A = this chain, B = another copy of it.
Amino acid sequence: MVHAGIAGATGYGGVELFRLLANHKDINSISLYSSSEAGSPYASLMPQLSEWFSDELKPIETERMKEELDVLFLVTPAGVSRDLTPLFQGSGVKVIDLSGDLRLQNPADYEKWYKKPPAPGQLLDEAVYGLSETNGEKIREADILANPGCYPTAVLLGLAPLADSGLLEKKSLIIDAKSGISGAGKSPNEKTIYTNTEENFRVYKVNEHQHIPEIEQQLKRWSGRSEAVSFTPHLVPMTRGIMATMYVDVSLHEHPESWMDLYRTFYANSPFVRVRDEFPATKDVYGSNFCDMHVELDERTGRLTIVSVIDNLVKGASGQAIQNMNIMLGFEETRGLKLFPLYP
Protein backbone atom coordinates (compact mmCIF):
# COMPACT_ATOMS: atom_id res chain seq x y z
CA MET A 1 0.00 0.00 0.00
CA VAL A 2 1.87 3.01 -1.24
CA HIS A 3 0.40 6.45 -0.70
CA ALA A 4 1.83 9.34 -2.73
CA GLY A 5 1.34 13.04 -2.14
CA ILE A 6 1.77 16.03 -4.42
CA ALA A 7 2.25 19.51 -3.03
CA GLY A 8 1.62 22.07 -5.76
CA ALA A 9 -0.80 19.98 -7.77
CA THR A 10 -2.30 22.80 -9.81
CA GLY A 11 0.79 23.89 -11.75
CA TYR A 12 1.77 22.24 -15.00
CA GLY A 13 4.28 19.91 -13.34
CA GLY A 14 1.81 18.92 -10.64
CA VAL A 15 -0.99 18.14 -13.06
CA GLU A 16 1.34 16.05 -15.21
CA LEU A 17 2.51 14.18 -12.12
CA PHE A 18 -1.08 13.44 -11.14
CA ARG A 19 -1.98 12.36 -14.69
CA LEU A 20 0.89 9.86 -14.73
CA LEU A 21 0.56 8.62 -11.14
CA ALA A 22 -3.16 7.98 -11.69
CA ASN A 23 -2.17 5.10 -13.98
CA HIS A 24 0.70 3.78 -11.85
CA LYS A 25 -0.12 0.28 -10.71
CA ASP A 26 1.99 0.40 -7.55
CA ILE A 27 0.49 3.62 -6.22
CA ASN A 28 -2.61 2.87 -4.23
CA SER A 29 -3.73 6.33 -3.36
CA ILE A 30 -2.87 9.91 -4.12
CA SER A 31 -3.32 12.98 -1.96
CA LEU A 32 -3.01 16.47 -3.34
CA TYR A 33 -1.94 19.44 -1.23
CA SER A 34 -2.20 23.14 -1.78
CA SER A 35 -1.72 26.10 0.51
CA SER A 36 -3.91 28.44 -1.50
CA GLU A 37 -6.61 26.12 -2.82
CA ALA A 38 -7.11 23.70 0.06
CA GLY A 39 -10.73 22.59 0.35
CA SER A 40 -11.54 22.87 -3.35
CA PRO A 41 -12.27 19.70 -5.28
CA TYR A 42 -9.37 19.17 -7.64
CA ALA A 43 -11.70 18.50 -10.55
CA SER A 44 -13.42 21.85 -10.08
CA LEU A 45 -10.13 23.62 -10.65
CA MET A 46 -9.05 21.33 -13.46
CA PRO A 47 -12.17 20.44 -15.44
CA GLN A 48 -10.17 18.28 -17.81
CA LEU A 49 -9.42 16.04 -14.81
CA SER A 50 -12.98 15.55 -13.65
CA GLU A 51 -14.34 11.98 -13.49
CA TRP A 52 -12.44 9.25 -11.59
CA PHE A 53 -11.02 11.62 -8.98
CA SER A 54 -13.31 13.49 -6.67
CA ASP A 55 -10.98 14.40 -3.81
CA GLU A 56 -10.45 17.88 -2.48
CA LEU A 57 -7.08 19.53 -2.21
CA LYS A 58 -5.78 19.20 1.34
CA PRO A 59 -3.94 21.84 3.35
CA ILE A 60 -0.22 21.47 3.83
CA GLU A 61 -0.16 20.05 7.37
CA THR A 62 3.13 18.29 7.80
CA GLU A 63 2.17 16.12 10.79
CA ARG A 64 -0.77 14.62 9.01
CA MET A 65 1.21 14.25 5.83
CA LYS A 66 3.90 12.30 7.66
CA GLU A 67 1.28 9.86 8.89
CA GLU A 68 -0.40 9.43 5.55
CA LEU A 69 2.35 9.41 3.01
CA ASP A 70 5.11 7.16 1.78
CA VAL A 71 6.40 9.57 -0.79
CA LEU A 72 5.89 13.30 -1.28
CA PHE A 73 6.49 15.21 -4.49
CA LEU A 74 7.15 18.92 -4.16
CA VAL A 75 6.18 20.78 -7.31
CA THR A 76 6.53 24.15 -5.69
CA PRO A 77 8.11 27.50 -6.62
CA ALA A 78 11.74 28.23 -5.75
CA GLY A 79 12.11 28.85 -2.03
CA VAL A 80 9.36 26.54 -0.74
CA SER A 81 11.11 23.20 -0.67
CA ARG A 82 14.03 24.79 1.17
CA ASP A 83 11.73 25.32 4.16
CA LEU A 84 9.38 22.38 3.75
CA THR A 85 11.73 19.50 3.11
CA PRO A 86 13.57 19.68 6.46
CA LEU A 87 10.26 19.01 8.24
CA PHE A 88 10.19 15.58 6.62
CA GLN A 89 13.79 14.60 7.32
CA GLY A 90 13.88 11.41 9.34
CA SER A 91 10.12 10.89 9.02
CA GLY A 92 10.32 7.95 6.70
CA VAL A 93 8.57 9.89 3.98
CA LYS A 94 10.65 10.00 0.82
CA VAL A 95 10.75 13.54 -0.56
CA ILE A 96 11.18 14.19 -4.28
CA ASP A 97 11.69 17.87 -4.98
CA LEU A 98 10.99 19.10 -8.51
CA SER A 99 12.03 22.67 -7.72
CA GLY A 100 15.58 23.96 -7.99
CA ASP A 101 16.07 24.38 -4.24
CA LEU A 102 18.11 21.26 -3.59
CA ARG A 103 20.00 20.84 -6.83
CA LEU A 104 23.05 23.02 -6.24
CA GLN A 105 25.33 21.69 -3.58
CA ASN A 106 27.13 24.97 -3.14
CA PRO A 107 24.78 27.43 -1.38
CA ALA A 108 26.63 30.36 -2.93
CA ASP A 109 25.72 29.14 -6.40
CA TYR A 110 22.03 29.09 -5.46
CA GLU A 111 22.19 32.61 -4.08
CA LYS A 112 23.99 33.87 -7.15
CA TRP A 113 21.79 32.31 -9.82
CA TYR A 114 18.40 32.07 -8.06
CA LYS A 115 18.81 35.33 -6.16
CA LYS A 116 17.19 33.85 -3.05
CA PRO A 117 18.48 32.48 0.27
CA PRO A 118 19.72 28.89 -0.16
CA ALA A 119 18.65 25.74 1.68
CA PRO A 120 20.71 24.69 4.73
CA GLY A 121 23.98 23.00 3.82
CA GLN A 122 23.12 19.82 5.69
CA LEU A 123 19.99 19.44 3.60
CA LEU A 124 21.93 20.04 0.39
CA ASP A 125 24.39 17.38 1.46
CA GLU A 126 21.68 14.83 2.01
CA ALA A 127 19.79 15.51 -1.23
CA VAL A 128 20.70 13.18 -4.09
CA TYR A 129 20.72 14.56 -7.62
CA GLY A 130 18.28 12.44 -9.56
CA LEU A 131 19.45 12.14 -13.14
CA SER A 132 18.00 8.65 -13.22
CA GLU A 133 20.19 7.11 -15.92
CA THR A 134 23.50 8.03 -14.35
CA ASN A 135 23.01 8.10 -10.61
CA GLY A 136 20.92 4.99 -10.01
CA GLU A 137 22.81 3.60 -7.05
CA LYS A 138 22.63 6.74 -4.99
CA ILE A 139 19.02 7.32 -5.96
CA ARG A 140 18.14 3.84 -4.69
CA GLU A 141 19.20 4.84 -1.20
CA ALA A 142 18.06 8.43 -1.22
CA ASP A 143 15.51 9.81 1.21
CA ILE A 144 15.59 13.27 -0.32
CA LEU A 145 15.88 13.62 -4.04
CA ALA A 146 16.58 16.71 -6.11
CA ASN A 147 14.88 16.12 -9.43
CA PRO A 148 16.89 17.69 -12.27
CA GLY A 149 15.76 20.74 -14.20
CA CYS A 150 14.28 20.33 -17.65
CA TYR A 151 17.21 21.80 -19.60
CA PRO A 152 19.87 20.00 -17.52
CA THR A 153 18.11 16.69 -18.16
CA ALA A 154 18.30 17.06 -21.93
CA VAL A 155 21.81 18.51 -21.81
CA LEU A 156 23.39 16.14 -19.32
CA LEU A 157 21.95 12.99 -20.87
CA GLY A 158 23.36 14.20 -24.18
CA LEU A 159 26.80 14.75 -22.68
CA ALA A 160 27.08 11.90 -20.19
CA PRO A 161 28.72 9.40 -22.57
CA LEU A 162 31.41 11.95 -23.41
CA ALA A 163 31.95 13.08 -19.84
CA ASP A 164 32.11 9.54 -18.63
CA SER A 165 34.89 8.82 -21.13
CA GLY A 166 36.82 11.90 -20.12
CA LEU A 167 36.25 13.46 -23.53
CA LEU A 168 34.83 16.75 -22.24
CA GLU A 169 37.81 17.89 -20.22
CA LYS A 170 39.14 21.26 -21.28
CA LYS A 171 36.84 21.28 -24.30
CA SER A 172 34.88 24.21 -25.61
CA LEU A 173 31.21 23.45 -24.95
CA ILE A 174 28.33 25.43 -26.39
CA ILE A 175 24.73 24.57 -25.65
CA ASP A 176 22.01 26.09 -27.78
CA ALA A 177 18.71 25.04 -26.19
CA LYS A 178 15.10 25.44 -27.30
CA SER A 179 12.00 24.93 -25.18
CA GLY A 180 8.25 24.97 -25.60
CA ILE A 181 6.25 27.58 -23.72
CA SER A 182 4.97 25.32 -20.94
CA GLY A 183 8.41 25.66 -19.39
CA ALA A 184 7.44 29.21 -18.47
CA GLY A 185 4.65 27.98 -16.22
CA LYS A 186 0.98 28.82 -16.07
CA SER A 187 0.94 32.44 -14.98
CA PRO A 188 -0.14 34.65 -17.87
CA ASN A 189 2.23 37.47 -18.76
CA GLU A 190 3.60 39.41 -21.68
CA LYS A 191 6.00 36.57 -22.51
CA THR A 192 3.39 33.82 -22.47
CA ILE A 193 0.45 35.56 -24.15
CA TYR A 194 -0.53 33.80 -27.37
CA THR A 195 -0.30 36.81 -29.67
CA ASN A 196 3.29 37.45 -28.62
CA THR A 197 4.30 33.80 -28.87
CA GLU A 198 2.71 32.31 -31.97
CA GLU A 199 4.73 33.01 -35.15
CA ASN A 200 7.54 34.15 -32.88
CA PHE A 201 10.87 32.65 -31.90
CA ARG A 202 12.64 34.26 -28.98
CA VAL A 203 15.88 34.03 -27.07
CA TYR A 204 16.06 34.81 -23.36
CA LYS A 205 18.33 34.82 -20.32
CA VAL A 206 21.42 34.47 -22.52
CA ASN A 207 24.20 33.16 -20.27
CA GLU A 208 22.04 33.97 -17.25
CA HIS A 209 19.76 30.99 -16.84
CA GLN A 210 19.72 29.29 -13.42
CA HIS A 211 20.20 25.91 -15.04
CA ILE A 212 23.76 26.81 -16.01
CA PRO A 213 25.35 26.06 -12.60
CA GLU A 214 23.36 22.82 -12.41
CA ILE A 215 24.89 21.69 -15.70
CA GLU A 216 28.39 22.80 -14.75
CA GLN A 217 28.20 21.14 -11.34
CA GLN A 218 27.33 17.79 -12.84
CA LEU A 219 29.99 18.01 -15.56
CA LYS A 220 32.51 18.71 -12.84
CA ARG A 221 31.36 15.73 -10.78
CA TRP A 222 31.67 13.44 -13.75
CA SER A 223 34.91 14.54 -15.25
CA GLY A 224 36.48 17.20 -13.13
CA ARG A 225 35.78 19.69 -15.91
CA SER A 226 35.70 23.21 -14.48
CA GLU A 227 35.31 25.39 -17.57
CA ALA A 228 32.24 27.56 -17.88
CA VAL A 229 29.71 26.56 -20.53
CA SER A 230 27.82 28.79 -22.93
CA PHE A 231 24.09 28.22 -22.56
CA THR A 232 21.47 30.02 -24.63
CA PRO A 233 17.81 29.14 -24.06
CA HIS A 234 15.17 29.96 -26.69
CA LEU A 235 11.37 29.81 -26.68
CA VAL A 236 9.68 27.88 -29.49
CA PRO A 237 6.03 28.52 -30.38
CA MET A 238 4.83 25.15 -29.13
CA THR A 239 3.64 23.89 -25.78
CA ARG A 240 5.89 20.94 -24.94
CA GLY A 241 9.37 19.83 -25.86
CA ILE A 242 13.03 20.68 -25.45
CA MET A 243 15.84 20.29 -27.91
CA ALA A 244 19.45 20.82 -26.89
CA THR A 245 21.89 21.31 -29.76
CA MET A 246 25.41 20.98 -28.40
CA TYR A 247 28.80 21.67 -29.89
CA VAL A 248 32.02 20.12 -28.63
CA ASP A 249 35.43 20.53 -30.21
CA VAL A 250 37.19 17.20 -30.33
CA SER A 251 40.82 16.57 -31.02
CA LEU A 252 40.94 12.85 -31.64
CA HIS A 253 40.22 11.69 -35.15
CA GLU A 254 37.97 8.78 -34.64
CA HIS A 255 35.52 7.64 -37.25
CA PRO A 256 31.97 8.99 -36.75
CA GLU A 257 30.49 5.54 -36.27
CA SER A 258 32.51 5.12 -33.13
CA TRP A 259 30.84 8.09 -31.54
CA MET A 260 27.49 6.46 -32.01
CA ASP A 261 28.90 3.23 -30.58
CA LEU A 262 30.08 5.11 -27.53
CA TYR A 263 26.55 6.43 -27.02
CA ARG A 264 24.83 3.13 -27.75
CA THR A 265 27.02 1.27 -25.33
CA PHE A 266 26.62 3.85 -22.61
CA TYR A 267 22.82 3.69 -22.78
CA ALA A 268 22.46 -0.02 -23.56
CA ASN A 269 20.53 -0.60 -20.35
CA SER A 270 18.59 2.63 -20.15
CA PRO A 271 14.99 1.97 -21.13
CA PHE A 272 14.14 5.63 -21.70
CA VAL A 273 17.14 6.76 -23.74
CA ARG A 274 16.96 6.06 -27.44
CA VAL A 275 20.19 6.61 -29.35
CA ARG A 276 18.78 7.16 -32.81
CA ASP A 277 20.21 6.70 -36.31
CA GLU A 278 19.04 10.17 -37.29
CA PHE A 279 18.81 13.47 -35.49
CA PRO A 280 15.53 13.41 -33.52
CA ALA A 281 12.72 15.99 -33.38
CA THR A 282 10.87 17.05 -30.24
CA LYS A 283 7.59 15.48 -31.33
CA ASP A 284 9.27 12.07 -31.38
CA VAL A 285 9.03 12.07 -27.57
CA TYR A 286 5.84 14.13 -27.09
CA GLY A 287 4.00 13.05 -23.95
CA SER A 288 6.53 10.30 -23.17
CA ASN A 289 9.46 9.79 -20.81
CA PHE A 290 11.95 9.19 -23.62
CA CYS A 291 15.12 11.12 -24.27
CA ASP A 292 16.12 10.66 -27.92
CA MET A 293 19.56 11.66 -29.16
CA HIS A 294 22.01 11.47 -32.02
CA VAL A 295 25.62 12.58 -32.45
CA GLU A 296 27.71 13.38 -35.51
CA LEU A 297 31.26 14.48 -36.13
CA ASP A 298 31.78 17.19 -38.73
CA GLU A 299 35.05 16.35 -40.48
CA ARG A 300 35.38 19.89 -41.80
CA THR A 301 35.44 21.53 -38.38
CA GLY A 302 36.52 18.64 -36.17
CA ARG A 303 33.50 19.34 -34.03
CA LEU A 304 30.83 17.08 -32.60
CA THR A 305 27.17 18.06 -32.86
CA ILE A 306 25.01 16.36 -30.25
CA VAL A 307 21.24 16.76 -30.32
CA SER A 308 18.96 15.49 -27.57
CA VAL A 309 15.22 15.94 -27.15
CA ILE A 310 12.78 15.42 -24.28
CA ASP A 311 9.25 16.36 -23.32
CA ASN A 312 10.03 19.02 -20.73
CA LEU A 313 7.00 18.11 -18.58
CA VAL A 314 7.66 14.35 -18.61
CA LYS A 315 11.34 13.36 -18.78
CA GLY A 316 12.19 16.98 -17.93
CA ALA A 317 10.06 16.99 -14.77
CA SER A 318 7.24 14.70 -13.68
CA GLY A 319 8.14 11.60 -15.64
CA GLN A 320 11.69 11.56 -14.36
CA ALA A 321 10.36 12.20 -10.84
CA ILE A 322 8.28 9.04 -11.11
CA GLN A 323 11.23 7.16 -12.59
CA ASN A 324 13.22 8.24 -9.54
CA MET A 325 10.41 7.19 -7.22
CA ASN A 326 10.37 3.79 -8.90
CA ILE A 327 14.08 3.41 -8.19
CA MET A 328 13.80 4.71 -4.62
CA LEU A 329 10.88 2.44 -3.74
CA GLY A 330 12.24 -0.61 -5.56
CA PHE A 331 9.56 -0.70 -8.27
CA GLU A 332 10.30 -1.62 -11.84
CA GLU A 333 11.99 1.45 -13.38
CA THR A 334 9.48 1.81 -16.22
CA ARG A 335 6.38 1.32 -14.07
CA GLY A 336 3.72 3.90 -14.96
CA LEU A 337 5.92 5.35 -17.70
CA LYS A 338 5.72 2.78 -20.46
CA LEU A 339 3.90 5.25 -22.67
CA PHE A 340 4.50 5.85 -26.36
CA PRO A 341 4.58 9.43 -27.60
CA LEU A 342 1.40 10.90 -29.01
CA TYR A 343 1.38 10.90 -32.80
CA PRO A 344 0.60 13.11 -34.50
Contact = CB atoms under 8 A, between A and B. Distances in A.
A339 interface: yes
A48 B69 CA distance: 36
Interface string A237-255: 1111101010101000000
Interface stretch (A125-133, A161-169, A196-204): A196-204
B230 A303 contact: yes
Interface in A234-287: 234, 236-241, 243, 245, 247, 249, 271, 274, 276, 278-287
A322 interface: no
Given A230-B305, A241-B200, A23 B338 contact: yes
Contacts of A290: 51
Interface string A317-328: 000000000000
Contact of A47 (B194, B230, B284): B284
A58 interface: no
Interface in A85-117: none
A189 B186 contact: no
Contact of A48 (B182, B283, B301): B283
Given A195-B192, A343-B16, A279 B181 contact: no
A87 B96 CA distance: 55
A2 interface: no
A156 to B, nearest CB: 18
Contact of A181 (B48, B194, B232, B236): B194
Interface in A17-31: 18-19, 22-23
Interface stretch (A60-68, A72-80, A138-146, A171-179): A171-179
Contact of A188 (B52, B188, B206, B342): B188
A194 B240 CA distance: 11
5 contacts: A19-B340, A50-B276, A204-B279, A207-B305, A230-B301
